[in-house]
Each structure stands twice: as structure tokens, then as C-alpha cells.
A and B are shown apart, each in its own frame.
Chain A
Amino acid sequence: EDKVVQSPLSLVVHEGDTVTLNCSYEVTNFRSLLWYKQEKKAPTFLFMLTSSGIEKKSGRLSSILDKKELFSILNITATQTGDSAVYLCAVDEEYGNKLVFGAGTILRVKS
């Protein structure tokens, strides 16, 4: 059965800290891995990763994929209170036509 596991389940940091969120997966016919940020409402897209070792970067956020070890990390540097959210990892299957989501990591950034 396909599985996506995120860790930690939650964490609390202070503004300015750097955080690393983890996502490991067991999926048949992997195609891509996606990261979403969810604040009050709908998840919003952050990154899509398809190739190992190539870092995707957007401002203070970056992510990288390791297809050999079957995991991805999402880094946030110099955290701000606006980074407080649930971060969701999802894996796209080649033939399944659907995303498999992890349970999410709840991040709270304290001022």
C-alpha cells in the first residue's frame, strides 16, 4: 500500500530559527513529490520535485528530493510568524492518477 510519512508531526520555533521538515514515501511508480502549505483554508502549492539532488528554492524556502532513499526535506530559513501553517507532502503516482498525502507537519513560529 502506498504510504507517505511526514515528521515531525508538529513543532514550535522562534522567529529567525531554521526548520527542516521531512517526508518519506513508499509509492509504486513514483512520478513526483509535491509540497503544499495550508493556513486557514485550502492548501497552496509550494514545490514540485521530480529529480534527485536538484534543489528547488523560493525565497526562504527550499526543498530537495532523494529518490534513492525515498525522502524529501523542506527547509525554511529565518522563519517568520507568517510561516505558521500545516505543511503537506504528497506523492504523485505514474499510473494512479491521484496524489497520496502525508498527515502533515504543524509548524508554529513564535514571535
Chain B
Amino acid sequence: NAGVTQTPKFQVLKTGQSMTLQCAQDMNHNSMYWYRQDPGMGLRLIYYSASEGTTDKGEVPNGYNVSRLNKREFSLRLESAAPSQTSVYFCASSLRTGGGTDTQYFGPGTRLTVL
């Protein structure tokens, strides 16, 4: 059981380049999330998807787009990378069906550097 997987693990981009971070979960979870983690800032939510076919902005959505491709996969796209987007990106998923408490399970992270 792989849980939450992310690709790539590491990436270096030049300013202005684009790329897509991939995330997949095999736990039949309904909700998926993208976070970025910067030193001293904790985890900040970029976008989330409460169910297949829906996406919503989080705390720091500017410069990013997302696609909930199906129930398993949730991708994060940087259209024109900027140095301020240098960070570690985590994908997470949770069962969340609209009620009750919840636990999020995290992928291993992608370390992105924008030069």
C-alpha cells in the first residue's frame, strides 16, 4: 500500500519555466491538498479539492493552478516559476466526506528550487 506518492522528488527550474507536480493516493480518499513549507512558516495551504471535480483556493494560491484529474490524482502546476516559489511542496489526502473529524496523510514532498 503506497499511500500518497509525489513526483518528482527534486526539481530545479529557471525563472519563467513551467512544470507540473504530480500526486496520487491509493487510499480511496475524497479530499486532496497541496501545501508548501518554508522555513519558519509551517505548512501553508495552496489549493485543495474536497471531491473529484472540485477545487478551491487555500491561503497562498497565487502563481499556481491545480487539476483534480480523477479521484486518485491531484496535480499542481506552476505556469511561470519565480524564485519566491522555491520551497518544499507536500501533497496530502484525507477521507473527509463532509462531516466528522479527519486526519490528513502526507506524501514525501518535492523540493523545488527556482533560480
Contacts and interface: CB of A to CB of B under 8 A. Distances in A.
A88 B45 CA distance: 14
Contact of B45 (A6, A9, A43, A99): A99
B90 interface: yes
Interface residues of A, dominant DSSP: strand
Interface residues of B, number: 25
Nearest to B96: A97
Contacts of A92: 101-102
A87 to B, nearest CB: 11
Contacts of A50: 101
Nearest to A89: B42
Interface in A1-57: 4, 6, 9, 31-32, 34, 41-45, 48, 50
B109 A97 contact: no
B42 A99 contact: no
Contact of A88 (B43, B48, B101, B103): B43
B108 interface: yes
B90 A42 contact: yes
Contacts of A41: 108-109
Contact of A104 (B33, B35, B42, B105): B42
How extensive is the interface on chain A, given as a class?
Answer: 20 to 34
Interface in A60-111: 88, 90, 92, 97-99, 101-104
B103 A98 contact: no
Contacts of B43: 43, 88, 90, 99, 101
Interface in B66-100: 90, 96
B48 A97 contact: yes
Q: Which of B42, B103, B109 neighbours the largest number of chain A CB atoms within 10 Å of its CB? A: B42
B103 A48 contact: yes
Q: Which of B35, B103, B107 neighbours the largest number of chain A CB atoms within 10 Å of its CB? A: B103
Interface of A: 4, 6, 9, 31-32, 34, 41-45, 48, 50, 88, 90, 92, 97-99, 101-104
